[in-house]
Amino acid sequence: MKRYLDEQVRQDLQKKMVVLTGPRQVGKTTLSRQLVGELAGAQYLNYDVAAHRAVMLAQSWRQSAPLLVLDEIHKMRDWKAWLKGVADGRAPDQQLLVTGSARMDTFRQSGESLAGRYFRLRLHPLSVREWAEQAQVSPHAALTHLLERGGFPEPALAKSNDEAQRWRNDYFAGLVREDVLEFSRLQEVNAMRLFAEMLRARVGSPLSLASIARDLNLSPVTLAKYLDILEALFIVFVVRPWHRNIARATLQAPKVYFYDTGLVQGDDGVRFENLVACHLLKNVQWQQDTRGAPVELHYIRTKDEAEVDFCLSQGDTLTHLVECKLSDAKPHRALARFAEQWPQAQAVQLLRECRAEADLGRLQLRDAASWLAALDV
């Protein structure tokens, strides 16, 4: 399957080491093996495979390999110092691709710095644009498919919804049982599983860790740590309220979304909002990783509880206000209010079922499928 990062990875490998991260089973290994297949003598090594791990620890891979792929090295102790040595000691013409299913800037860091040695790229699940191109269907059909299956390649490509659901059950259980254990103690796994299950029913709402902590008989500090781990493993991502003062925004309640929309427990509106969140984050991180753009994803909520689902910022300037609705073409009151308050921002009300697009003052009513398909990735 062709992915949106394929060509970018090829281009970046010509210049520096590439660190490719993203959720487990999002397609990193497939992308890597496709690249290995294109170059005679290229070599792929996975730290999870015992035989591969032995080669990696001994650094006995083929020095003549034009491309060396090292997968899951974040599980190695002092991986950062080790990778620095590998990068500095490789042959001048050897390309180096490092992949992992955890944020490699978060856990088990050493004092060594990889600054200036690599390009970072983050691979996301399939978008409306990608699936429409892959399956040769309309954006509306692609949106419907992704709402049913989620954007991970295996369930998206599955022959039936039952197959997709079987994959998802195993996927979620494996994430909590195996990956979380890499960064936490065994006795914490059950508590974190319960926490992750509770988050599935709280998508799109301001998150009160204190309330959940009482339910689980844990401290909010412990739950904040668990949330950091779930973020680092690309299970969930956090959207924080927008404020020019970063410290104030951090103190306000975040909203949590899942990379896999299929994991969301909620009505069609909540699942739709989660899918839009995934698309916006994917687009933001594409701009950050490939252009160095200072763009961010947030939401807006005021003291009088007026709220808009999402906003995009560049530096300290709002560029987009986005509200998600299934079919309500009536202008969202808070969106209209904020559109007047920040006239430089494009105010868009995305409709899952849109009979006719319209411009109502500063507010734009847009068909969600077409709008999402027009994003960069």
Using the predicted structure, report yes or no on whether residue 365 has a pLDDT greater than 60.
yes
Residues 245 and 356 in one domain: yes
Chosen domain end from 94, 122, 150: 122
Residues 173 and 284 in one domain: yes
Distance set, CA 231 to CA 29, 127, 138, 172, 290 (Å): 21, 20, 32, 14, 22
Quick one: pLDDT at residue 117?
86
* CB 366, CB 351: distance < 8 Å: yes
CA distance 207 to 198: 11
Quick one: pLDDT at residue 256?
97
Chosen domain end from 103, 122, 141: 122
Distance set, CA 232 to CA 63, 88, 108, 168, 213 (Å): 32, 27, 12, 20, 20
Mean pLDDT calculated for residue range 20-34:
94
Quick one: pLDDT at residue 182?
65
Using the predicted structure, report yes or no on whether residue 109 has a pLDDT greater than 60.
no
Using the predicted structure, report yes or no on whether residue 250 has a pLDDT greater than 60.
no
Residues 44 and 138 in one domain: no
Number of domains making up the chain: 2
Residues 87 and 202 in one domain: no
Mean pLDDT calculated for residue range 80-90:
91
Using the predicted structure, report yes or no on whether residue 126 has a pLDDT greater than 90.
yes
Residue 1 included in any domain: no
Residues 205 and 135 in one domain: yes
pLDDT band for position 190 (cuts 50, 70, 90) = confident
Residues 270 and 146 in one domain: yes
Quick one: pLDDT at residue 108?
40
Using the predicted structure, report yes or no on whether residue 265 has a pLDDT greater than 90.
yes
Would you call 359 helix, strand, or coil by DSSP? strand
Using the predicted structure, report yes or no on whether residue 113 has a pLDDT greater than 90.
no
Quick one: pLDDT at residue 360?
93
CA distance 253 to 173: 27
To the nearest whole number, what is the mean pLDDT of the chain?
91
- CATH number of the domain where residue 14 is located: 3.40.50.300
Q: Name the residue range of residue 57's domain.
A: 6-122
Residues 156 and 116 in one domain: no
Using the predicted structure, report yes or no on whether residue 293 has a pLDDT greater than 70.
yes
Mean pLDDT calculated for residue range 192-197:
90
pLDDT band for position 92 (cuts 50, 70, 90) = confident
Residue 250 included in any domain: yes
Residues 208 and 67 in one domain: no
What residue ranges in the chain does DSSP mark as E strands?
17-21, 43-46, 67-71, 95-100, 118-122, 236-241, 255-258, 295-301, 307-314, 317-325, 346-351, 358-360, 363-367
Place of tokens 């892959």: 134
Within 8 A by CB and 6+ apart from 36, the residues are 42, 43, 44, 67, 69
Residue 79 included in any domain: yes
Percent of the chain with pLDDT over 90: 78
Chosen domain end from 91, 122, 153: 122
Quick one: pLDDT at residue 358?
95
Residue 169 included in any domain: yes
Residues 181 and 258 in one domain: yes
Mean pLDDT calculated for residue range 191-215:
93
Lowest mean pLDDT among 35-39, 170-174, 230-234: 170-174
pLDDT band for position 104 (cuts 50, 70, 90) = low
Residues 178 and 42 in one domain: no
Residues 185 and 295 in one domain: yes
Quick one: pLDDT at residue 243?
80
Mean pLDDT calculated for residue range 350-358:
95
Which helix (H) or strand (E) segment holds residue 191: the answer is helix 189-200
Quick one: pLDDT at residue 112?
59
Per residue in 142-157, pLDDT (tens digit) is 999 999 999 999 999 9
Residues 197 and 105 in one domain: no
Quick one: pLDDT at residue 110?
44
Residue 88 included in any domain: yes
Lowest mean pLDDT among 54-58, 107-111, 309-313: 107-111
Mean pLDDT calculated for residue range 168-184:
75
Residue 330 included in any domain: yes
